[in-house]
Amino acid sequence: MTKLFTLKLLRSNIDALLAAFVGGLIVVLLSIHSGLGISPDSIYYLSTADSIIAGKGFYQFDGKPFVMFPVGYPILLSILKGIFGSTLLKMIPFFNAMLFGLTIFIAGIILEKTNHSKWLKWIVLFIIALSPSLLEIYTMLWSETLFITEIVLFIYFGKIYFEKYTLKSLVITAVVSAIAADTRLAGVTVIATGGLLILMSPELKWGKKFQHSIIYGTISISLFVINLIRNALLTQTLTGNRQKGVTPFLENLKYYGLVLTNWLPFTKWVSALPTVIALIFLSILIVVFLYRFFKSKEQHHYEKIAVVFTLIYSIFMLTVATVSRFETINNRLLAPFYIPCVLTISFYVASFFKIVKSGISKVALISLTALILVVLIFQYSQVIRASYFENKEGGIGGYSDDDWFISSGLLNYLKANPSFFIVDKPIYSNAAHAVYFKTNQSVQILPERKYTHLVTEFNNKPAQILIWFNNEDNREVLTLQEVAGTKNLQIIGKFNDGVIYLCTSK
């Protein structure tokens, strides 16, 4: 039962293999121009992987301990780099395509085991394969690529555990939860989902429930706790310096709703009411959760596991974004519950079709469902088409696109002159991540104004070199005007996309 790949499963899920191939192919096509999109977070992961391979431990490109994220994804990248070497960035799109394909295939197995009709299974599979939400993730070098796959695995193995309550399936589910929590901090929601469902189980006696809770909890939090202890020893913080939140809950709820409207059909219409959509969605999750709990419905239904995870994850993200200074809630942050959400909806659609048996009502239901699905698939395909032609011209937005990696006169100069970095003054940049990605040289990140102690430290230095990129859009770091307020700026190199300054104290 716990085996994912058996001959019987493969034979009954040929359609899932086809959808997996389509999804993987789209990932490759979207990233064919210049590889995966590279963001600042990607550079943290890549540089930490480089540090692991060099035997230096978990340190990022600027020499600081890697503590803002768990270490799971850099470990994976270091393994891949050990296999592919210098060709990693060329091969990683194919790895992401395989990872996306695996995710789709597991979702297909789940759909098959819920006894969906074949046509509904096919539609749901291709909605997942064509999802702009997921394709945005799997065409970037982000830890969410691994995290989403782990969530689907958790749902798959969790169902097996809650069906039989065997120790073997419990340990497997706990191990998946532990790895998820060591991939993303939000992985604690996976741990919480499993723990809550064990405590809620109406079929487990309290003695066994307590025993299984201890086993699950100990295994699932193990890697996460080790990671936190290591962070505390190195930096005296658990997950790096976190600032107090500045975005009110209602505003975060609006951003949450805006992401949902982009997943839904008729996006242009529903996007006018993001907060309403968010409240309706959360209310439905709560009602389904309470109904399943008080009615003591079967724990082993995939739908129950998916609903509980989606609810816990949503509450977690809204809370964290409110109490901590955080990037605006966006698709990247919410994409991990896209597949659980789609699976849950498909379960209820299938149930409605079984309940409605009258001729006219069934025809009306089929017609409405068909209209919604056609609009959704058309909407998704249009987004993919636009992304393909945009990426084909200049690559996926980020440090791997043509504007940064090929056309940047400043980066090309730094790449061609490694001796530039051999100076007796500290070097800063407002795009230090891009400098590392292009040159493999480490420079300091220009301080963000919210970290006043770092700004003071920067201002107190008698002299430093500043590599300034005009096209870097990080509004958190000091502006050139703010630097000029405390420093004399002398131009020592001017390029099509930036300037190199010698900064001296006024």
| pLDDT exceeds cutoff 90 at 257 | yes
Please write the tens of the pLDDT for every residue from 308-363: 999 999 999 999 999 988 889 999 999 999 999 999 888 888 877 777 777 788 78
What does DSSP assign to residue 477?
A: B
pLDDT of residue 298: 58
pLDDT of 294: 78
Residue 274 lies inside a defined structural domain of this protein: yes
Q: Are residues 491 and 357 in the same domain?
A: no
Q: Which of the pair, 118 or 181, is modelled with greater confidence?
A: 181
Residue 27 contacts residue 56 (beta carbons within 8 Å): no
Q: What percent of the chain has pLDDT over 90?
A: 78
Shared domain for 228 and 205, answered yes or no, is yes
Residues 78 and 139 in one domain: yes
Beta-carbon contacts of 28 under 8 Å, excluding residues fewer than 6 positions away, are 93, 94, 97
Look-up of token digits 């990872």: 99
pLDDT of residue 120: 87
Instruction: Read off the tokens for 333.
Output: 């942050």
Q: Are residues 263 and 137 in the same domain?
A: yes
Indicate if 38 and 107 belong to the same structural domain: yes
Q: Are residues 325 and 415 in the same domain?
A: no
Last residue of a domain, one of 394, 429, 450: 394
One DSSP character per residue, 279-320 reads HHHHHHHHHHHHHHHHTT--TT-HHHHHHHHHHHHHHHHHHH
CA–CA distances in Å: residue 445 to residues 38, 40, 461, 474, 478? 17, 11, 15, 11, 10
pLDDT at 5: 64
Task: Write out the residue range of the structural domain in which residue 269 sits.
Answer: 7-394
106 lies in the same domain as 250: yes
Task: Identify whether 402 is part of a domain.
Answer: no
Residues 360 and 412 in one domain: no
Q: Is 338 strand, coil or helix?
A: helix
61 lies in some domain: yes
Find, among 155, 58, 136, 150, the residue nearest to 103 by Cα: 150
Return d(Cα 124, Cα 110) in angstroms, integer: 11
**Residue 190 identity:** V
Is 430 domain-assigned?
Answer: yes
- Three-state DSSP class for residue 427: strand
Say what the pLDDT of residue 300 is: 52
Per-residue pLDDT tens digits for 448-478: 998 889 999 999 999 999 999 999 988 889 9
**What is residue 8's predicted lDDT score, i.e. its pLDDT?**
77
Q: Are 110 and 303 in contact (CB under 8 A)?
A: no
Please determine, for residue 74, whether its predicted confidence score (pLDDT) is greater than 90.
yes
389 and 428 assigned to the same domain: no
Residue 400 lies in a domain: no
Question: Are residues 349 and 215 part of one domain?
Answer: yes
466 and 334 inside one domain: no
Q: Tell me how many domains the chain contains.
A: 2
Q: Residue 285 falls within a domain, yes or no?
A: yes
- Please say if the pLDDT value at position 118 is more than 90: no
End-to-end CA distance of the chain: 71
Supply 471's token pair.
Answer: 């096209």
Same domain, 32 and 122: yes
In a domain, 206, yes or no: yes
What are the beta bridge partners of residue 495?
Answer: 498
Query: pLDDT value at position 439?
Result: 96
Domain contains 134: yes
